[in-house]
Structure 1
Amino acid sequence: MAETNIDTNAMYEEDQRAEESHHSAAGNVKNRVFVRGIEGAYNLNTELERLRSVPRVRKGKEVKFSKGPQTFSRHYVQPKNGITQTFHIHLEEYAPGGHSQKHGHVNEAAFYILDGIGYEVHDGIRYDWEAGDIAIVHNNCVHQHFNRSLDKPARALVIKTKPMFMFMNMLFQKTVEPRPDEPSPTGAGFVARMEETDFNHPEGGY
């Protein structure tokens, strides 16, 4: 099969533009791609060729963070990228003392805590976490994420099947409280870390 040239820089720039208002009040009315349309002949040869031509590895350092100033998001994989149909995978960075929007949705989500300390509030109940933990957001749970440290950031890799839930017409999601537009009292001037660090292994391995 002939190689297909993919302009990955243009793809990443398009992702960034689309995510800039993702979590703002205005962003909630902006069109978003939850599930890609697939068109073509019944045997889907064209779609298979397209899938085989797209990059299998996305360089995290080429995907920029959006939003802030308390919670920053780096959306690695979602349907509009054309790489996957069912996954949405993103990195969340919480500024010192920062917190996310308060919201709820039908789909589950798993937060693998890369570094820092923090806690969840799920339906009014608090659950603490630290690096190495996995926080699970259950279906139909109103939740919010908090950085417990007042002087250090925290990071979580989020994996969710929201696109599949949308495809199955499980459409409910609601923002109860939007992401804050002002820095936290101890997080003024914080900028999300762009570097890719091996958080879980010391230099040279174990």
Structure 2
Amino acid sequence: MTDDALTPEHAEEGGAAEDARLAGLYHSKKDRVFVRGIQGEYNLGAELARLRSMPRVRKASEIKFVDGPQAYSRHYVEPKDGISQLFHLHLEEYGPGGKSQKHGHVNEAAFYILDGVGYEVHDGIRYDWKAGDVAIVHNNCVHQHFNASAEKPARALVLKTKPMYLFMNMLFQKQVEPRQLEPTPEGVGFEAREEEDDFNHPEGGY
């Protein structure tokens, strides 16, 4: 069937399928939890007991990457988990030639580059990075993250203070360009590395 022959019913089905696809992406969710409610008696004893019962180690093997195919995220700590409302901690993996969404927010963020080479574009200015560097996103900055390699992935551990800022009603944030839904030509077939490698120690130890 050609596009010209699409009936309104087929068009609606295609639109519904696309809506479902978008709904499954973390950065397209319309029901994200940015700040949790805290309820209870004045001394908040039950809330404190709940907090102290939470896991002290989040296992990477229990948290899968989401989104893709150019930019993937593994969210270790966010408000919905019930652990912290001060920060959001996640791992970003960019496929070969991949990029993130273009966006801006009031809160600041720090990207510790674990491996790869790439660059940021902050308010139209380019900043290059490589493994071992830390990239800082300042408040109220429109920015985007890019993998500069056409052959290898890049990854960064991200710590951002979004929950704390939003708790104080500093709500302004906007997506300028969404995450790409198609891979780059060089990234066809790439999948995020679910298993962690020990990059800090040579094989066999020192």
Go from structure 1 to structure 2 and tell me whether the alpha carbon gap of 1:20 and 1:57 turns closer, same or farther (over 3 Å shift): farther
Displacement of 1:204 in angstroms is 5.3
Q: How does 1:188-199 map to 2 (within 5 A)?
A: 188-199=188-199
Partner of 1:116: 116
Partner of 2:180: 180
Could you tell me the TM-score, scaled by structure 2's length? 0.86
> Aligned with 1:186: secondary structure?
helix
> Aligned with 2:49: secondary structure?
helix
Displacement of 1:202 in angstroms is 2.6
> Aligned with 2:96: secondary structure?
coil
> Aligned with 2:61: secondary structure?
helix
Whether contact under 8 Å (1:114, 1:200) holds in the other structure is no
Displacement of 1:20 in angstroms is 3.6
Could you tell me the TM-score, scaled by structure 1's length? 0.86
Go from structure 1 to structure 2 and tell me whether the alpha carbon gap of 1:204 and 1:36 turns closer, same or farther (over 3 Å shift): farther
Taking only the aligned residue pairs, the percentage that are identical comes to: 76
Q: Which amino acid aligns with 1:37?
A: G
Whether contact under 8 Å (1:101, 1:175) holds in the other structure is yes
Partner of 2:46: 46
> Aligned with 2:56: secondary structure?
coil
1-side partners of 2:192 and 2:76: how far apart?
A: 15
2-side partners of 1:90 and 1:42: how far apart?
A: 33
- Aligned counterpart for 1:21 among listed residues 22, 25, 29: 25
Which consecutive residues of structure 1, in runs of 5 or more, have no partner in the other structure?
A: 1-18
Displacement of 1:205 in angstroms is 5.1
Partner of 1:171: 171
**Structure label with greater radius of gyration:** 2
Partner of 1:147: 147
Displacement of 1:54 in angstroms is 1.2
Q: How does 1:12-91 map to 2 (within 5 A)?
A: 20-24=24-28, 27=29, 30-91=30-91
Which consecutive residues of structure 2, in runs of 5 or more, have no partner in the other structure?
A: 1-22
1-side partners of 2:24 and 2:134: how far apart?
A: 27
Q: Deviations over 1:50-76 (max 9, x none)?
A: 011111111012100001000000000
> Aligned with 1:100: secondary structure?
coil
> Aligned with 2:26: secondary structure?
coil
Q: Which amino acid aligns with 1:21?
A: L
2-side partners of 1:174 and 1:22: how far apart?
A: 15
Please give the root-mean-square deviation of Cα atoms over the aligned residues, in Å.
Answer: 1.3
Q: Deviations over 1:51-106 (max 9, x none)?
A: 11111111012100001000000000001001111110000000000000000000
Number of residue pairs matched by the alignment: 184
Q: Which amino acid aligns with 1:105?
A: H
Higher helix share: 2
